[in-house]
Amino acid sequence: MFDHESLRSTVAARAGSMSHNAIAPVLVARAMQGEEGVLTADGAVSVRTGAFTGRSPKDKFIVRDALTSASVWWDNAGAMSPDHFDLLLADVVAAMGGLSLFRQDLLAGADPRHQYGVTVLTPSAWHALFIRNLLIRPGEMVPTGSNPTPVTIVHAPAFQADPARHGSRSATVIALDMSRNLVIIAGTSYAGEIKKSVFSLFNFHAPRQGVLPMHCSANLGQDGEAALFFGLSGTGKTTLSNDPARPLIGDDEHGWSEDGVFNLEGGCYAKTIKLSATAEPEIFAATRRFGTVLENVVLDEAHVPDFDDVSLTENTRAAYPIHVLPAIAKGSMGGTPRTVVFLTADAFGVLPPIARLTPEQAVYHFLSGYTAKVAGTERGVTEPQATFSACFGAPFMPLHPTVYGDMLAEKLSSSGASAWLINTGWTGGGHGVGKRIDIASTRRLLSAALNGELDDVEMRTDELFGFEVPVTVPGIAAKLLTPRLTWADADAYDRQAMHLAGLFRANFEKFGEAANAAPGPRLAQAAE
């Protein structure tokens, strides 16, 4: 068995110095001393990640060996040979020699039975602070298991990989050895790569333990039952799961075991674009605390964050410990989910604001992972563009999506949880014609789904997509529940609906024969 502590000791022996488990004030001071960032007016650490302001999925590799060869979804992951990985590891460790390094020994997995002991080695104080904020700090909130699975992440943002020597695609590389639970991150300063590497390891191993790994947020109802919120970026996952009346289990990564739901992390990594104290007061307050890390957020002359300024990137982020939020679940765990919510921001203006899904439809939408980019959010995007990401997190799913889909089907069957599709996107037309569904209406519909108000109400079956839509919901204009009625041109709605249905069907073709029997859009001509 690979000796993680031997590797960690080797790195420490070659380092100029090694700081062990420094707490936030020390890491903030070291970051300022090293001119790694600046303090905001409220004491948060503001940093810039350079050329990479987001993940680099094309530079992510998994070691292809006896454990992974037949199980990894290689269509979705680059393969690296064991020899290339070992050479890369040796070169990175050598390059870190003489540097002042920071070691953080943390936990991933609030359930002690499904827990990882994660050690991160990095020359960057702010990255050490970031991961200390994001993972579970031993002794805080959750118990440490008797034998956490060891994980080591060697983080070398300044190291430049050599494709010819290391088997990488470029000078940037994120390499995961699933057999030894080793991760190498080099050539990028984007901190999200660290946290998502832990998630990727979990996503590979958890199914073998009967645990469904999920890229979702989760909170608790009054009876301790959990609600899950799946959704791609910009759909409202973090916003809607942060509810003062429902304690938050976590905002991004979870496992669903036979006993319920547990958070993988101990912090939150919230998008801050257009963040306001009015719409999201809890998250806004977290950005103003000492020790929070703000990534690529522009500051004004008084060092006050300007969350409306996207000149560096739209992917501005805040990383902070979950305990700074006012309502969190004890132990970062919850009971068996009673409600599963799939969030989408449909920029085509087609989908209803809420729909009830059968278990089969829930798995279909889970495997589809749909949302839409709106015009103007990215260079070259001039009209709505559909985005499909299997399991609402394809880049982090090492196994084939159907593995996770089958597990979700079993969990839904055994739990009896209800499933809902909620559209936080447009109504009355697509982006540029219609308007965004207001957050108050979305919250009202979500509340109705969570508290059982919609269990016995009259439903209509959507002729194209097949799901059920409430005819009326108290406090909601009936017209909003039938998108076609909100369009000035009903024929234009029909054309747009057929177009979106066709995109769903075309995306699902990658699942082969299962696509023909999938409970998605019903009309054959939708694929034309």
Strands (E), 310-412: 317-321, 333-334, 337-344, 354-357, 370-373, 385-388
How much is the pLDDT for 383?
A: 66
pLDDT in tens, 255-280: 999 999 999 999 999 999 999 998 88
How much is the pLDDT for 513?
A: 63
One domain for residues 285 and 274: yes
How much is the pLDDT for 518?
A: 73
* CATH code assigned at 441: 3.90.228.20
CA distance 513 to 507: 13
One domain for residues 421 and 286: no
- Catalytic one of 168, 197, 238, 424: 238
Q: Structural domain of residue 109, as residue ranges?
A: 4-50+59-267+325-331
CA distance 382 to 239: 27
* CATH code assigned at 148: 3.40.449.10
* DSSP-derived pairing of the beta strands 333-334 and 260-263: antiparallel
How much is the pLDDT for 374?
A: 63
Angle at 280 between CA 274 and CA 285, to 5 degrees: 100
Assess contact for 344 and 370: CB atoms under 8 A: yes
Domain count across the chain: 3
Assess contact for 354 and 281: CB atoms under 8 A: no
Residue 317 falls in the annotated catalytic set: yes
Q: Which of 331, 366, 384 marks a domain boundary?
A: 331
pTM greater than 0.85 (yes/no): yes
Assess contact for 472 and 448: CB atoms under 8 A: no
Burial of 526 (0-12, 13-18, 19+ CB in 10 A): buried
Torsion of CA 202, 207, 208, 211, to 10 degrees: 90
One domain for residues 257 and 361: no
- Catalytic one of 180, 237, 365, 505: 237
* Token duo for residue 133: 């904020």
Residue 233 falls in the annotated catalytic set: yes
One domain for residues 197 and 319: no
How much is the pLDDT for 207?
A: 98
CA distance 288 to 43: 7
Q: Which of 310, 331, 352 marks a domain boundary?
A: 331
CA distance 165 to 98: 23
Assess contact for 283 and 317: CB atoms under 8 A: no
With CA atoms as reference, report the closest residue to 269 among 230, 305, 237, 244.
Answer: 237
The alpha-carbon radius of gyration of the chain (Å, integer) is 23
One domain for residues 491 and 407: yes
* CATH code assigned at 314: 2.170.8.10
One domain for residues 131 and 181: yes
One domain for residues 359 and 424: yes
CA distance 198 to 245: 30
One domain for residues 261 and 290: no
- Catalytic one of 71, 100, 233, 415: 233
One domain for residues 301 and 389: no
pLDDT in tens, 454-494: 999 999 999 999 999 999 999 999 999 999 999 999 999 99
How much is the pLDDT for 519?
A: 80
Secondary structure of residue 382 in the 3-state scheme: coil
Residue 215 falls in the annotated catalytic set: yes
One domain for residues 393 and 293: no
One domain for residues 198 and 281: no
One domain for residues 262 and 276: no
CA distance 409 to 361: 10
Residue 323 falls in the annotated catalytic set: no
How much is the pLDDT for 375?
A: 45
- Catalytic one of 137, 205, 215, 254: 215
- Catalytic one of 59, 177, 243, 252: 252
Q: Which of 324, 349, 364 marks a domain boundary?
A: 324
Assess contact for 502 and 481: CB atoms under 8 A: no
With CA atoms as reference, report the closest residue to 121 among 87, 83, 159.
Answer: 159
CA distance 153 to 86: 14
How much is the pLDDT for 514?
A: 59
Residue 58 falls in the annotated catalytic set: no
Tell me how crowded residue 58 is: count the other CB atoms within 10 A of its CB: 11
- Catalytic one of 8, 155, 196, 505: 196
How much is the pLDDT for 379?
A: 41
Kindly report the backbone phi and psi dihedral angles of residue 77, in degrees, each rounded to the nearest multiple of 5, phi listed first: -145, 140
- Catalytic one of 4, 48, 55, 499: 55
SS3 labels along 58-71 = HHEEEECCCCCCCC
pLDDT averaged per 10 residues in sequence order, the chain, 528 residues: 94 97 98 97 96 93 98 95 98 97 98 97 98 96 93 98 98 98 98 97 97 97 93 87 92 95 96 90 95 97 96 94 94 96 96 98 97 58 80 95 96 97 96 92 96 94 96 95 97 96 93 69 50
Residue 6 falls in the annotated catalytic set: no
Kindly report the backbone phi and psi dihedral angles of residue 276, in degrees, each rounded to the nearest multiple of 5, phi listed first: -135, 150
Phi and psi based region of residue 44 (left: phi greater than 0; alpha: psi -120 to 50; beta: remaining): beta
Assess contact for 153 and 118: CB atoms under 8 A: yes
